[in-house]
Structures are given as C-alpha cells and as structure tokens.
Amino acid sequence: MEELSVDDPTQLLQAASDFANYPGLQNDASAKDFLDRFPLPVILNALQTKADVPGLESTLIAALERVFQTKYGASLIPHYMPFIQVGLTAESHEVKSLACKTVTYLLENLNEGAVSAVHLIVEHNIYPLLLDCLINGNEKVATLSTDAIGKMASSPAGTDVVFPANTNEATHLGALAAQCSPLGRVRVLALIVKLFSISSYVASAIHRSNLLRLFEAEINNTNDTLATMSVLEITYELSEVEHGREFLSTSTLLQLLSSIISNKSMESVLRSRAMMISGRLLSKGNYMFADELSVKTVVSAIDRILSSSETQDADECESALEALGQIGSSIQGAQFLLSSSPPAARHVIYAAFDRQGRGKQLAALHALGNISGETRSENSMILTSDAEESLRRLIYETASKSSKLTPSGIFLSVLKQDSETRLAGYRMLTGLVARPWCLMEICSKQEIINIVTDATTETTKLGMEARYNCCKAIQKAFIMSSKVSSDPALAGLAEKLYDAVRKGPYLAKRLEAQPTVVTDDRF
C-alpha cells in the first residue's frame, strides 16, 4: 500500500468527501475499504494537524461519522479511546460533537466481550469530559453529550456511574448543578428529564439521588423571570414523562406551583405554566400519589384565579380551565372538583356554555368532557351520588340562566357552532350521556340526534370520529336505559341511532365517479 502523508491532504480530502457524500448507506465493506486506503491514525492526525485546510475538518468529521455508524467502524472505537478524550476537550465544537457521537456509537455497538463500553468510558475518564461538554459546550454539543449520557445510563453499570452513591462526588449531578451558571443548571435539569424517560429503574435512581430538589430550588428562586420560565418549561416536559409524574406528584413541587399561581405579582405566563404543570401532575392515575393538602392547595389557587373580579388574561383563564380538566380526568379528581365547597367545577360548566370567549369556551368544553368521564374507562365514568348531583345541578342551573333554558338547548347551541367547538361538544356529550337525565335531555331534542347521526356533518377525520363516538355513546346509553328504549315514541330515534352506528364514522354516502364526455377541440 502506498504510504500516505498528511503534508498533502488533497487525496484524503477527496476520498473522504466521496465517502461522506455517498447517497446510499455505507456498509461494513465500504467502511473497511475506505480505512484500508486511509487508516484511522492518518485521518485522526490530519484532523488534529490540518484543521486550517479549507473544508478538511468538516469533511473528515462527516466521513468519520459514517464510518463509526457501521459495525466495523464501531468495533475500532475501543482502540482509539485517547482520540475521544482529545476530541471532548478540543476547541472545535464540531470535533467535540463528533467525540460525543462516537461515545454513543460505542455504547450502541459494544454489547459483547470481556470489556464493556461503560468500563472503557470509566477507565479513560470519559464521563467527566461528557459532563463538561454538557455544561460548557454550545447547544449542539450539549445535546449530543446528553444523548451519550442517556445511552450510558440505560445499562445498570452506566446507571451506577451517572448516579454515584457519594453525593459530594464531583460527577454527582446535584454537586455539579451547585457549581454551574444558570444556563448550566438548566442543562443539568434537561439531562435529568431525559434520564427520567429511560425507564422506571433509572427514574427510581434519580429519586434516590434526591435530584428533584434541583427543580424545586430553581422554581423557588423567582428573582429571574426568564430563568424561572426556562425551569418551568423543563418541568412541564418532565410532567409529560410517564416515569417522572409519580415522583413529581409526591414532592413539594405542587406546593411551590400553587404559590406561583396565587402570587398576583408574578408574570401571567408563569402562572399559566404553573397551572398547566399542576393539572398534568394531578391527572388520571397521578392524582392518587399526591397528598390531599397539595391537591386542595392547587385547586384553591386555580379557583381564586377564575373567581377574580379583576380583568383576567385570556390565556391565563384558558390554562386554568385546562388544568381543572386535567385534574378532573381521574375519577378522584372529578369528584373533588364537584364536591368541594363551592365546587371548582362550576367555572368549567359556566364557561362551557358562555360564548363570550371562544378559546375559553373550547377549553371549558374539553375540560367538562374530562370531568364527565369521556377519557375514563366505562366503569369509571359515574361518580359518587353527591358529585353526580352537583354535576346535574350545575348544568341545569347554567341552562336556566341562559336564553335556551334547558340543558338540551345549551347542548344544541354548542353543536351549532364551528367545527372545532362541535368536536369539543361531542366529547362533552360522550361523557355526559352516561347519566340518565342527560340521555333524556338529548332524546328530547331531535335536532341533536340529527347532527350526531349525520355522517356528512363533519369533514375532518377528528371531527368524524368524535361525532361517531358520541353517536355510539348515545346509542349505548339508549339501549341500557329500559325506560327510554321501551318508549314507543322513541322507536324511530333508536332506529336512526342504530343505522348511524352501523355505517361507521366516515362519510356514508360517497359520490361515484361519473364518465364525462367532452368533444374534441377542433382548429
């Protein structure tokens, strides 16, 4: 083989460009052929010594990425760990990015053999360098180092490295965050969110390491609105992670969030986000993890926002209603909202049939759908007798104060609005119709039945499916009610519901293609 010199990298640059820009996938054979012509030591030497050659650094990095993505290329990484060390400390952000990616490729491919990828990372002191990239690298480098650390934490051996038992150890995320800039702390929190999403095992390790206190400390520090907003955004992401919600719900975080919601001097956007996070943390099964005092504190804070006689921010009101809807999606939450004194659910029901603000009405209709059980299983829709009576009373009371006078009237008024409002209305009725009084109201209004059974009413997939689900729920409630199903006057309605359900959710009548005869153009 011809001896190559990095003094004239022209040949290497051209070959690397061809390899990096090859339109198809590079396989083991093509990677081996490339490295046989240009061994890794030659490429790495050129990367370190010829970075000033125009286009060389970016081209070699692109080529090495494709090499290491193959199994053959990844198998060579353990022999070049010092290169990763140098790369992670390089001044070039692109070289740092490559080094972070190389760690990920190593973790993804070295699954067998006497030496594990985690062992190599520990032996060559790679993990502290990844943490430095996380804290001090640019946004791309920080993201790639986060990916590499997340991949490492996916194995039990890696979890032990990422969560050392000694809280004073320099690599402990709590100790690291204490010494960081505000940006560095936000990045540590973002890493913790990613780690939470890996598995319940890793989530438990985070909880044992007492890392949730980092979120609480940052949220409690309200001196910097932008910093607080950043932390709330990350906390919101964490509240969406299945493995994170349970632990968040048992922390003092709910108390902190309720204090933000109650603080009138806070920016509206902060209060809105705090309400959204609280609602998500108390939604569905997570409600049972929170203590009763935390739930009461959060709901009371939201209630005060909606009860305020001062001019309310529209987004803040919508967030408050949506948060109540999230809380009401669990059977325990729905019962609490309807049984508290006064019932916090009153805000949802009043706003659901108030056309003064479209966004507010939409949020309330969806919230009422959650409270009435549209998102719950069939055997969890009906609440305690006290909660059910509160729900019925609030809806009849709201209807009596409107120009429609009856629940059937206000239901129909919702279904006569725009498509987005109708969709929310379908969800609301799908949950409410499980109650006999609501079924009677619906059956008393032929126009409601006409809308929910007409397959041409909706033109979007979501709208069609929401209408159909509502139709099915009404038919099922109809069949289950002996009083209604045995009424001869409603026989035609029963047949109409059955026929609509049988036809399915989508357009029942389809226009067939018709032949068109057109005379030839003559010149």
3-state secondary structure of 247: helix
| Inter-residue contact 46 to 12 (CB < 8 Å) | yes
The pLDDT of residue 262 = 86
Which tokens sit at 131? 């943490």
151: left (phi over 0), alpha (psi -120 to 50) or beta: alpha
Does the bond joining 342 to the residue before it have cis omega, within 30 degrees of 0?
yes
Based on the fold, state whether residues 390 and 290 are members of the same structural domain: yes
Task: Please write the tens of the pLDDT for every residue from 155-192.
Answer: 888 899 999 888 888 889 989 988 888 889 899 999 99
Residues 6+ apart with CB under 8 A from 328: 334, 337, 345, 348, 367, 370, 371
Within a domain: 59 = no
| Inter-residue contact 183 to 231 (CB < 8 Å) | no
Q: What is the dihedral of CA 245, 247, 250, 255, to 10 degrees?
A: -60
Based on the fold, state whether residues 389 and 332 are members of the same structural domain: yes
Radius of gyration of the chain (CA): 31
How many domains does the chain contain in total?
2
Within a domain: 468 = yes
The pLDDT of residue 25 = 79
The pLDDT of residue 2 = 45
**CA gap 291, 124 in Å, rounded:** 46
Host domain of residue 492: 403-423+434-504
The pLDDT of residue 512 = 44
- At residue 426's C-alpha, the angle toward residues 425 and 427, to 5°, is 90
Based on the fold, state whether residues 380 and 411 are members of the same structural domain: no
Residues 6+ apart with CB under 8 A from 235: 215, 219, 248, 253, 277
| Inter-residue contact 328 to 371 (CB < 8 Å) | yes
Task: Give the chain's length.
Answer: 523
Within a domain: 496 = yes
Based on the fold, state whether residues 393 and 438 are members of the same structural domain: no
Residues 6+ apart with CB under 8 A from 265: none
The pLDDT of residue 234 = 87
Within a domain: 320 = yes
* Residue that has been written with the tokens 């972070």 in this structure: 100
Based on the fold, state whether residues 397 and 369 are members of the same structural domain: yes
DSSP 474-504: HHHHHHH-HHHHT-GGGHHHHHHHHHHHHH-
**CA gap 508, 455 in Å, rounded:** 6
Within a domain: 254 = no
Q: Residue type at 182?
A: P
The pLDDT of residue 288 = 55
Within a domain: 220 = no
pLDDT beneath 50: ranges in the chain: 1-3, 113-114, 510-513, 522-523
The phi and psi torsions of 23 (rounded to 5 degrees) equal -65, -25
Within a domain: 366 = yes
| Inter-residue contact 12 to 4 (CB < 8 Å) | yes
Within a domain: 441 = yes
**CA gap 231, 274 in Å, rounded:** 11
**CA gap 455, 500 in Å, rounded:** 8
**CA gap 64, 46 in Å, rounded:** 12
